[in-house]
Chains A and B, each alone.
Chain A
């Protein structure tokens, strides 16, 4: 069964550094998403991406964040200058239409 994959599983970085989180969505899916879950809190929407552009983004997704689909298979989330409060689990998801989404296993980002 096809699945969404994410790398790395755990990323440790220092405050102010740039990080790139990588995702490989399910191959025939057209919509791509990033969510995050701060420890003990709700899963929060960050951004959705369709047809090579952002469809929607949340208030969290400020100028420090960007997304890219550099080729036909990868979908990346970049944080330009990480803050302590960016420490969270980041989930990538994909879907064929803008409905049921399939999630990857997540990348745990720790900012020190």
Chain B
């Protein structure tokens, strides 16, 4: 079945450091890929998405490129801020799924220190 694997956390960075959170997936066809962010005490917010191979999703300085050849959708940001501290979830919707079921990775906690 479809699945998503993320790098283990927590990830601790200093402010202005470069961020990469790895995400790989297993799915048939061409799933849609998403990154969601969960700030402390809050719900999940859609951060960015990509729906076909080589698409790049971007938002708030974060980027991720849909790589079909490596089945990856790694999240990057050039310069993190303390306010980026949160849990980040990679997720997919299968290409043959009509109901829109999101399959999530286990989440990666990011802590940014001043």
Contacts and interface: CB of A to CB of B under 8 A. Distances in A.
> Do A and B form a real pair?
yes
- Chain A contact residues: over half helix, strand or loop, or mixed? strand
A15 B102 CA distance: 29
Given A91-B44, A98-B93, A42 B107 contact: yes
Contacts of A41: 106
Interface residues of B, number: 24
Nearest to A50: B99
Given A43-B104, A45-B103, A48-B100, A99 B51 contact: yes
A45 B101 contact: yes
Contacts of B102: 33, 35, 43, 45, 93, 101
B89 A55 contact: no
Nearest to B91: A43
Contacts of B93: 98-99
Given A43-B44, A105-B42, A105-B43, A100 B104 contact: no
B12 interface: no
A25 interface: no
Contacts of B36: 103
Nearest to B4: A42
Contacts of A42: 104-107
17 contacts: A31-B100, A42-B106, A43-B102, A43-B107, A48-B99, A55-B98, A55-B99, A55-B100, A56-B97, A58-B101, A91-B43, A93-B44, A97-B100, A98-B93, A100-B46, A103-B36, A104-B43
